[in-house]
Structure 1
């Protein structure tokens, strides 16, 4: 019997590389995002991968450990980030709306939490479709415009910054997208979708970005741990959440 070849990193190993220093408390929401990305990512050979706006996370290189990765970002200083010093990774200072690559250059392209930061999102989508080879994939994550809010629970408003302050800090130009809006951007329905940060995990997300000290956040995370555990283990591909992960295969 021929053994099955895995091209993406196994889920457990991928989650273990969560870049947050406290991955099961302040970084639990990011762990949930990583699981959603893993669920939508195709397990196919990927030689050339383009990460658009990958910054300093290195998530795409983690996800596909055999791929050659190009990380293009507007912030030139991120070239010095540890993940961009990986021998497999080439950092490029550039603009998502005018990618400096020939047509059909990549097997797979990722845009994780990027689209909501770019005014001309239609140009970003066009460029993504241009540089991906026929049969290649585009992977996206973004807040769900209709479901995302901060804080998710009003009870946390006294300890959380206003949503507008977070948007300004993060450089958002829009709240996010519905799945229908994303499908319209890329000209076809997504082949795979998975929401993340469901209402139970939103408790932890609220605390992670609160104004509380690190020690107090830890205490509150501990008190909320039973809800977080239930939220984690019951979340399925079809479970509603406040953010969207989606994958399109280019015709």
Structure 2
């Protein structure tokens, strides 16, 4: 029986159960996957976009001697620079390490390239101390110059069916920038919301009766009397009702 391995890392759809577990594992394995660097919603999109699959197809009809076995799908090659972080989601990869070329199998949730995550987190933290324009330029320069990455001392290949996530330094930078934009937009919305309710916040607490439903505070509208209290004395409106006697006098004069 001959096994033919598809060397192309085809993108695949990930089911919701595996996606939830992957988000949980990644968010606890390194700080760069935490909300300080990458928001959970952005991390979900990052995983969906970079989930890949290598399929193994078996042909029982190929029994002839001398059938050439194709090369396995290579994740890392010993001595070659790499800027990729890889986490196995299902299946397994074969790792060859050491002078004796000892072969080990890496199963689900095993990750490679944490050096890329460490270097990326350090670069982002350095950029936060600079201005916005300089920080973006410095990060892009480091990625372009291949300053973020590592040289593995092992070989890692896929010989069997396997699903994994593969993030490059550029992918991580894009996720960080997207998270920053989303956070800034949320801050603007909060400021606008506070400005709309500022009139309510200035009302004395003893004059407020705020109903609570299902544990959430519901803001009420401002009454006319409360609005008058907030106005300066010179601008307060004077309301008075004319009595019936004055109305009667006007009728007699007519």
Assess same fold via TM > 0.5.
no
| TM-score (normalised: structure 2) | 0.27
More helix by share: 2
